[in-house]
Copies of this chain bind each other. A is one copy, B any other.
Amino acid sequence: MKIPKNAKRVFHGVMFDVYQWEQAMFDGSKQTFEMMARAPSTDVIAVVDNKIIVLMQEQPTKPLFPSLPGGRVESGSAPLETAKREMSEETGYEAKQWKLLGEWFGASKLYFHESVFIAKNCKKVAGQKLDAGEKIKITFMDFEDFLQLCRNERFTAPLGLKFMMYEALVDSKKKKELMGKIFK
């Protein structure tokens, strides 16, 4: 959901902003409504031959979890630019062909722009350049194992992507479509 135009930013943080506005109710009375906006984030499905890169990460507040290359989009950056930079830093891989798989905009009380890109024919061109808050091991998964990742509670990924992966497990037509988008 988008932040309403008449909303006022009442808190500005490192990663989260809070907005409030007076909302007219069905009977004409008013209530203070509140929404969060989270800094945008982007993730990459990086294809190496017939495999997808999956990171096994550790962060200072989070024990080992699987994720995709990606991260927070700094203000002034575009999601694709961030996707390319994060993939390069976290994996040392580069791709010539990029396309957007999907983007989502959070849930009812949270505005959160998440985008997932597909990076095709990735090649290793350098080593990792990790932040002080990252420990990352690169692994490679085939499509079937990748789909099963959505069932892993520790898998950190955009919710929209997780639902897309579940849909592929539930509906064979959607599975074919997703496989085509990633590998064709």
Give chain A's interface residues, CB within 8 Å of chain B: 1, 4, 10-11, 13-16, 18, 20, 23-27, 29, 31-34, 36, 38, 60-62, 108-109, 131-135, 151, 153, 156, 159, 162-163, 166-167, 169-170
Interface on chain A toward B: helix, strand, loop, or mixed SS? mixed
- Say yes or no: A14 contacts B26, CB within 8 Å: no
A153→B26 CA distance, assembly (Å): 24
A17, chain B: closest CB distance, angstroms:
9
List the number of copies, as a whole number.
2
Q: Could you say which residues of chain B place their CB within 8 Å of the CB of A1?
A: 61-62
Sample of 30 A–B contacts (CB below 8 Å): A4-B61, A10-B11, A10-B13, A11-B13, A11-B18, A13-B18, A13-B34, A14-B20, A14-B32, A15-B109, A16-B18, A16-B34, A16-B36, A23-B133, A25-B131, A25-B132, A25-B133, A26-B132, A31-B132, A33-B61, A36-B36, A61-B108, A108-B156, A151-B170, A153-B163, A159-B159, A163-B166, A166-B166, A166-B169, A166-B170
